[in-house]
Structure 1
Amino acid sequence: MFHLLRRSAAPIWGTVHAVEKEFPLIENADAAVFVNRVNEVLHGEDSPVVLTPPAYDKAKSDLMIPLYTSHTPSGVTVDLYMTPDRAYVHRAAANTEVIDVQGLNEAIAVIAAVALASGMTHDEMSELFLWKPAEEVYAPDELKWVTPETTFKVSRVYCNARQQMMGSDYLRVGPFVTMSIYAVHQ
């Protein structure tokens, strides 16, 4: 089971797309392969969480970012952001409500499983959840959209196996939280 201590997690909602080049979270993995690999990690970690097969979400997609959606047993929505050619997932985001403890735990399990499936060690994965204020990573002009009702935190962890930086965001808007993971650069 994933061993993460979550003492004071102020959750957030929404989806953040930093202006960074998109790299695959898991090499050679379309949405279905990606979910299968994440489910294998969840199973291997003895987690009760399992993702449903991904479905194309036309309502949330646009011509540039195909989006597939999967769900956890308690209904956490997991959005898989694909490259335009649908060759791989470049960002995974788990969305739930702050007051939903089971949902928060499932969101954490999914993000942790994505990190492990992408090649991170357990120690590296755990560091992804040590979010710090976004102001420590982003320039002020990149955070103009952040309102007083928004909590936005980020972490960056170097993955030795991939030899690249991995990122995680924690975004809370009102009662909604989004946790996401992505490869920052190679």
Structure 2
Amino acid sequence: MSEEFFTKVRRTIGFDGLISTIIGALIVFLPNRSARAAAGMIGAALIAVGLFKLIFVFRRDAENGMARLGNLIVSVIYLVAGIFIFVDMQSAAISLILVVGILTGITWLIEGFVQLAILNKLATNKTWSTISAIISILGGASILFSPMWGGLVVWTFFGITLLIIGIFKLIQYFTLKN
């Protein structure tokens, strides 16, 4: 491995570790503000996508009237959604955590049911797969019964994970030899 490549890899690991540590710490120690910041980034992205779509609606010459109208409606929806996020950042953050909780619960439920459905295709020892499927179904159902609590747990777990990964990458950065 060349010295230049090694230096770039080492810097990338250090930068990634620093960013992961900062974001993880913000999520763990300031969960409300970090959720609002994430909602704000989503709002900004929605507004940017809406503006670009709106610009391209008026620049396209090959589209017929119905396609233009459809793209115009979609761009307005993006813009309105982005603006609504900025109007009430606290509600947007709560909605973000609810969506995280609901999607996690649905994912775990589907995963559990899929595991149960393919049990007969697995090897002879199906005990662990059955236990895993039941845990997945129970976990998904419990999160869906309380998506706010589940979303907060998932959000906090995400922050802890980023913090730990970031710290390990910073350790790796400082221990790599030049």
Using structure 2 for the length normalisation, give the TM-score.
0.26
Task: Return the structure number with greater relative CO, CA threshold 8 A, min gap 6.
Answer: 2
The structure with more radius of gyration? 2
Is the strand fraction higher in 1 or 2?
A: 1
Using structure 1 for the length normalisation, give the TM-score.
0.25
